[in-house]
Copies of this chain bind each other. A is one copy, B any other.
Amino acid sequence: MREKNIVWHHHQLSKEERSSQKGQKQCVLWFTGLSGSGKSTIANALEAKLYEMGQHTYLLDGDNIRHGLNKDLGFSDEDRVENIRRIGEVSKLFVDAGLIVISAFISPFHSDRQIVRNLVESGEFLEVFIDTPLEICEQRDPKGLYQKARKGEIPTFTGISSPYEAPATPEIHILTAEKSIDELVNMIISYLQEKGYLYASTY
């Protein structure tokens, strides 16, 4: 690089440039709810719908985090906090990239969710409470985990032997009972539209 490059204008892309290029305001939709509440199903359906609308998203969940970035972590209290901290930091990077991040983890403790909320800017953290009664989650039991927990085969299980601290004031409160997935997804989309998160020109 010759002397002439010293006058080269150093431009660092901003978060706003990245998100406006994508027709949206960057944010993390932080899904929280019991095992079996429908977090993954709703998150995937929401992502598919936003994609159809021309929006740019990314979904963080157990599938892509547990066996990758956080594969060195176990289930101790210390590791649980580190697990959420890293997911929070990664969410922040994706927010900085201008994306709408959807994260789908039980995240039962208020303090852990607060850590992530504090990592990003005001208006970038949207807590989405997937509110399904424990009885229904346990009845569904898609992975047979509640049954194992009841038998004592899983020592610490949210809702059975460990508390779930429901969000007191989530940005979006999704009562899943008696609603179709489409209806639930549309509730979240409506919130995002009303609050000005979506302005892609392709729909």
Residue ranges of A at the interface with B (Cβ–Cβ < 8 Å) = 1-2, 4-5, 8, 10-13, 17-18, 21-22, 38, 41, 44-45, 47-48, 51, 54, 56-60, 64, 68-69, 72, 82, 86, 89-90, 92-94, 96-97, 99, 132, 176-182, 184
Known: A2-B179, A17-B51, A178-B2. A41 touches B89 (CB 8 A): no
Given known pairs A1-B181, A2-B179, A5-B181, the reply for A13 and B48 (CB within 8 Å) is yes
Do A64 and B44 form a contact, CB below 8 Å, given A56-B22, A56-B56, A69-B86? no
Does the CB pair B93–A60 fall under 8 Å? yes
Set of chain B residues within 8 Å of A97, measured between Cβ atoms: 58, 94, 97, 99
Closest to A38 in B: B1
A50's closest neighbor in chain B, by CB? B13
Q: A8-B181, A22-B56, A44-B11 are in contact. Are A69 and B51 (CB under 8 A)?
A: no
Bound Cα distance A156, B99 (Å): 38
Contacts of A18 in B (CB 8 A): 51, 56, 58
